[in-house]
Amino acid sequence: MSDIVEGLTAAFWLVISLDPELLEISLRSLQVTLTSLVIASAIALPFGTFLAIRRFRYRRLTISVLNALMGLPPVVVGLIVYILLSRSGPFGVLGLLFTPTAMVIAQVIIITPLIASITHQAMRELWAEYHDLLISLNTSQWQRIKTLIWDGRRNLLTASLAGFGRGIGEVGAIMIVGGNIDNATRVLTTAIALETGKGDFALALALGFVLIALAISVNIAIHSLSRTEREGRW
């Protein structure tokens, strides 16, 4: 128990003193995860919606695979990205291994299926509602996707935030492809793993609390920016 109290106290002082190192790794955590989130959402939202409205031959299989990929083990993703980006791998010439870009690539792979799958679930319901209207208006495929995405934006926000949650707390993949290099690729989760390794549980916990606080603030910020929880709107 005393470890938890010490952790909370340490977290409090780290935040109050605006510890420059803490600030740096927190910003890097946000930078990596938000960048991955933007890229993953740009792929997953239209793709999930497309799966909901279009009937094609291997649709069921695609959906099953997508749902299964939600559970992709980050360590395996990390290892595969690592092998691909390694100097002796096929994309080695790009020199991306152990950079934030490599971490973004790994995270995009991890969170895209999650966002796409939740999007698909939400859009299926909405499509059932909009089906007749959109068909009778003789809309094009792309117009339908756009309409559904816009009208289902609150559900999609949930999908994206789920992706954010998975990304910001992820450690297995970014540890492998980022290498946890001080001042270059160290983020909150890998720093927590490092401090736990050193047996410094108070600092590790403090960083953990900062991570949780960060995740909550981002969620609140996005909700208030997009005005989803205002009176009379739901």
Binding residues (CB under 8 A) for other proteins: these are 27, 30-31, 34-35, 38, 86-89, 92, 95, 97-98, 100, 179-184, 194, 196-201, 222, 225-227
Shortest gap between Cβ of 231 and other proteins (angstroms)? 17
- Shortest Cβ distance from residue 35 to other proteins (Å)? 6
Which residues contact residue 45 at a Cβ distance below 8 angstroms, ignoring those fewer than 6 apart?
Answer: 115, 116, 119, 149, 156, 159, 160
Q: What is the spatial distance between Cα 160 and Cα 144, in angstroms, rounded to a whole number?
A: 20
Nearer to other proteins, 66 or 103 (CB): 103
Nearer to other proteins, 124 or 153 (CB): 153
Helices of type H across 54-69: 59-69
Question: Shortest Cβ distance from residue 103 to other proteins (Å)?
Answer: 12
Strands (E), the chain: none
For 2, 58, 90, 110, the CA distances from 106, given in Å and listed in that order, are 36, 26, 16, 6
Q: Closest separation between CB of residue 28 and other proteins, Å?
A: 8
In the complex, what is the shortest distance from the CB of residue 135 to other proteins, in angstroms, rounded to a whole number?
28
CB of 34 or CB of 80, closer to other proteins: 34
Q: Which amino acid is at 149?
A: I
Residues 6+ apart with CB under 8 A from 150: none
Measured from the CB atom, the residue of 88 and 138 that comes closer to other proteins is 88
**Cβ distance 46 to 149 under 8 Å?**
yes
124 or 169: CB nearest other proteins:
169
